[in-house]
Amino acid sequence: MALDKNLVTMCNWAMREGGVKFPGGVNPGVAVKCYRVAKQAITFLKLQDIREQLDSLEENIALQTMVAVYIYAGLRREEALWLTHEDIEWDWGQFGAIWIKAKAVDEESWMSKTGEDRIVPISSQLRVYLDRYVKAVEKSGPWFFKTPKSKRWDPDNFSEWLRDANAQNDLNWSCLDFRHTFGSQLAMKGESLYKISRLLGNSPEICRKHYAAVMPESLMDSVEFPTEKEKKMAGKAKGMGDAEAPRLRLVVNK
């Protein structure tokens, strides 16, 4: 809700419940002007960028796999850092699934940003990285992705690790860029905003705001005028429809 609407609501409550009186009996929040805020453009990776990013981490299997999860599953930063081994359902669907759910581990509790659990299917591309990671990394402790001391990653420390690794290859993409890559690539493929919102754990309105412009059915083909040939074809089709339409006779009983 915008700030001006919050002020109006607050003043209405004060007048109604607290007996507050404003000059002229007018809610002062009504006079507050709402200023336009510049829209921030999202950043996402193109297909060649995805390959460059993942190839740059070839020697770091753990970080490469974590980045692959952010790109191919669209998880929020903390959602991946809080994954346990039990959250990966290897036999669900064709390639498995990731279960984002509230949990309590080692006397710490966590839930997703929206507080809702969700299932994110594992794609064929992501399954390759996950299989390689599981074979290469020893399983110790509850965390699927862990620090060298088998602890859960602190979000800021992980971001610094990613930032330093990318800086060595003149790259600067972040976890948020990877998440937007998931949404944008699916939108460009033609998936519905409703499905994308379910996978990302966002509202359809948020997804429309971020990804509607890159959907193929947006306005890309809406600027072409009909040609003379198309007009004639449309006219013939209409004439055939009229000729084939049954004629009704109105009978009036006197």
| Cβ atoms 76, 158 nearer than 8 A | no
| Cβ partners under 8 Å of residue 119, min gap 6 | 92, 97, 98, 99, 100
pLDDT of amino acid 125: 97
Q: What is the pLDDT of residues 25-60, one digit of tens each?
A: 888 877 777 767 666 788 999 999 999 999 999 999
Please check the confidence at residue 237 and state whether its pLDDT lies above 70.
Answer: no
Task: Please report which confidence band the pLDDT of residue 115 belongs to, taking 50, 70 and 90 as the band edges.
Answer: very high
Higher-pLDDT residue of 121 and 251 is 121
Task: Please report which confidence band the pLDDT of residue 211 belongs to, taking 50, 70 and 90 as the band edges.
Answer: very high
pLDDT of amino acid 220: 61
Residue 159 has φ and ψ, to the nearest 5°, of -60, -35
Identity of the highest mean pLDDT range in 33-42, 122-131, 227-236: 122-131
| Cβ atoms 120, 199 nearer than 8 A | yes
Between CA 95 and CA 125 the distance in angstroms is 9
All structural domains of the chain, each given as residue ranges with its CATH number in brackets, are: 1-37 (no CATH), 47-187 (1.10.443.10)
DSSP string, 106-166: TTEEE--TTS--EEEEPPHHHHHHHHHHHHHS---SSBSS--TTSPPPPHHHHHHHHHHHH
Please check the confidence at residue 113 and state whether its pLDDT lies above 70.
Answer: yes
